[in-house]
Amino acid sequence: MEFLYGKIHRATVTDANLEYVGSITLDKDLMDASGIMLNQKVEILDINNGERFCTYVIEGKRGSGTVCLNGAAARKVQKGDKVIIVAYASMSTEEYKNFSPKIVHVDENNKIIKA
């Protein structure tokens, strides 16, 4: 079964780059705090417009606050939108009993306020 693995709650989109090949660029600090890994599939939930879509993660500069949607995904968001970034993992019910998802809350500059 798939379970919640990690989440970055109410991050602010810092850029939308149509010219990049695809993905979401995330500040390395946000990746570490949420447990979200390089190339991991994530679901993006745009609070402003209701869009829900999947992409994969690439690493951004540590401490930059970067949350940048790239390629086709850039058409689904606008700079300044609030998004929830969710990663899931496949595991058995037994494995999940010993697992706690990492949920990260950020401020308007994507700085961690609670992890």
The Cα–Cα gap between 90 and 105 comes to 23
- Helix and strand numbers (H, E) in the chain are 2, 9
- Structure tokens given for 24: 């979401």
Query: Which one of 56, 64, 88, 96 is the catalytic residue?
Result: 56
Residue 28: is it exposed, middle or buried by C-beta count within 10 angstroms (0-12/13-18/19+)?
middle
The Cα–Cα gap between 115 and 112 comes to 7
Q: Is 34 noted as a catalytic residue in this protein?
A: no
Q: Is 100 noted as a catalytic residue in this protein?
A: no
Instruction: Give the catalytic positions in this structure.
Output: 23, 56
